[in-house]
Structure 1
């Protein structure tokens, strides 16, 4: 099967490198023609310093080559996925479409796999998610991810096609759990970054991770997700990674908030938009999600870091 990737950022490029080094011919589409020219000529991507792009990766700023691929990895930001699918739905019907972004669409409050299913009903929607950094994948470091597809037979096909010697995929049919685990952990990563950036210490971060995980479970299970999915790679595994490493964009954004520093506005921070969506979903469904609510208030500027800490510490005492 021919594999294409939509999105020339760090993660999409890293996936392409891993798959190409395993012997697959990869087509990567990027919107920016200058970036495509640089990748083609210099065999490098500025977002992956030191990584040489394999010769069996080809690059295009035109969409036609992408549309002939059987499997398309959608490595676009979560908030632009809907527009991409809407514009090109007729060309994507019948394809295996694998979302590689983590977030909740603010337009319809849906995760990436659900967005694919809604907009391209004749495609096979799937999610590739879990604890991973682009730099690690591109360098061939061992990585384990979840490949979630409601159609288990199709999931097995994708698992075989997309697994590599360094990138091990575990199959699941719980796309709801996979997409919500991947989205919600970004909110907790922002909270963890704020705690460290504000000087509250490692113990505070540990408490946020520990109490944040049940919040993730409550919302995901209310949508029908399986508990074991949230306890796996796409939930707890990804939560631990992104809450403890400065390679995480969401954690880095939280660090900057906690330190009252500016953050690069060109860097995609999915957790900020997800926090806004979660605040609304939690209110609509009557689910208690205090950490997510505080992060939403912090990211929209309606709450200070000091007030956020006070809000969390002044909650009623209760059993664990």
Structure 2
């Protein structure tokens, strides 16, 4: 059996550790309290009610992961590059499975591109799709997309994680897979705003549909396969995240409607988990502006988050736009 490493012991990283077929799994976290809880009590504060299997060893030392053959990356997107760079001083197998969903603000790039810069010969796969961590850890039926340019690498990784309750599908569209997973977090914030403002079910459905149209426009520009967005990592993840009370990004959008006089970033800082959509909105707004893409919903969400725009005014701006074709 292969030895695997998980970088990131949040809810998602911990959930992934419970499904991997491996003789020993090392899970890295900066937080020594998290590490001690996993090793001594077999529990995680980030994934309540789940017993952590005995073959999982938590550590705060990246050196302990040197002997791992596969690395599952589940750290917050904005921290990932610096952590991966820290691995350069060790002689490691350069097999990476990206489980984080986001785009780096500083560079405006996907994590697969950043890792290729650090490790040019790395083999990379991207795991994405509608998959809440608690349900995966509870062995509830889940289907995801595992994307890699190498079918051989996909086959290797799928043998580690595919099982009767966690079904894996293949794609070679790494960019589309990453975009779908990242951008839905932005629109989930918008969906939370729609719900928090009490705009109704019609508005919620229209919001998701029009958000999807924007995703298709952006996907075309980055060279992704349009079909990818109609699948698990696109529409599947978008529908789940925008409609669920479990979604941190949707809940964040709701919170914004109830705390209009509080600085947005202060709300971000008080969240127990990372609100990826907040950061991704900045990266993709600049990208859409650079490529002169018409993405009115994305623009309004960005303006609310970063430019103190009034929610009610942004809603009116979107609804009062000139009539267009549904897809253009």
TM-score bin, normalised by smaller chain: over 0.9
Check 1:107–1:92 CA distance in 2 against 1; reply closer, same or farther (3 A cut): farther
Is residue 93–residue 121 contact of structure 1 (8 Å, CA) maintained in 2?
A: no
Give SS of 1:243's match: helix
Q: Distance in 1 between matches of 2:87 and 2:117?
A: 13
Does the CA contact (< 8 Å) of 1:93 and 1:122 recur in 2? no
Match of 1:8, SS state, is: coil
Displacement, 1:124? Answer: 0.9
Match of residue 3 from structure 1: 4
Shift of 1:92: 6.7
CA distance in 2, matches of 1:33, 1:102: 25
Instruction: Provide the TM-score with structure 2 as the length reference.
Output: 0.93
Residue 104 of structure 1 and its aligned partner are, at CA, apart by 0.8
Retained in 1: the 8 A contact 2:34–2:45? Answer: no
Match for residue 306 of structure 1 among 291, 296, 312: 312
Contact 1:92/1:123 (CA < 8 Å) preserved in 2?
no
- Provide the C-alpha distance between the structure 2 equivalents of 1:69 and 1:269, rounded to a whole number of angstroms: 30
Q: Is the 8 A contact 1:93 1:120 kept in 2?
A: no
When residues 126 and 23 of structure 1 are mapped into structure 2, their CA distance, relative to the original with a 3 A threshold, is closer
Post-superposition CA distance 1:22-79 (Å, at most 9, x none): 5653211111112101111111111211111111111111112212101110010111
**Contact 2:62/2:87 (<8 A) preserved:** no
1:278 to 277, 284, 287: 284
CA shift for structure 1 position 301: 4.1
- Provide structure 1 residue ranges, at least 5 long, that are not aligned to the other structure: none
Matched, 1:14 2:24: no
| Local SS of the residue matching 1:28 | strand
CA distance in 2 between partners of 1:301 and 1:285 (Å): 21
1-structure distance, mates of 2:44, 2:116 = 31
Distance in 1 (alpha carbons) for counterparts of 2:211 and 2:45:
34
SS at match of 1:228: helix
CA distance in 2, matches of 1:36, 1:24: 19
The aligned residue for residue 167 of structure 1 is 166
Give unmatched runs, 5+ long, in structure 2.
261-266
The verdict on how the C-alpha distance between 1:56 and 1:16 changes in structure 2, with shifts beyond 3 A counting, is: same
Matches of 1:45 and 1:87, distance apart in 2: 25
User: Over aligned residues, Cα RMSD in angstroms?
Assistant: 1.5
Q: Deviations over 1:73-124 (max 9, x none)?
A: 0010111111112232343754211111111111111112222122211211
Q: Does the aligned pair in 2 maintain the 1:196–1:258 contact within 8 Å?
A: no
For residues 259 and 197 of structure 1, the distance between their equivalents in structure 2, rounded to whole angstroms, comes to 7
Q: Distance in 1 between matches of 2:136 and 2:204?
A: 26
Distance in 1 (CA, whole Å) between partners of 2:51 and 2:236 is 29
Q: Are 2:197 and 1:198 aligned?
A: yes
Alignment of 1:315 onto 2:315: no
What do residues 225-259 of structure 1 show as CA deviations (whole Å, max 9, x unaligned)? 00111111010100000000011111111111122
Cα 1:256–1:221, aligned 2, differ >3 Å: closer, same or farther? same
Q: 2:297 aligns with which of 278, 291, 302?
A: 291
Aligned partners of 2:114, 2:91: CA distance in 1, in Å?
13
Paired residues of 1:146 and 1:234 also in contact (CA < 8 A): yes
Q: Give 3-state SS (helix, strand or coil) of 1:312's partner.
A: helix
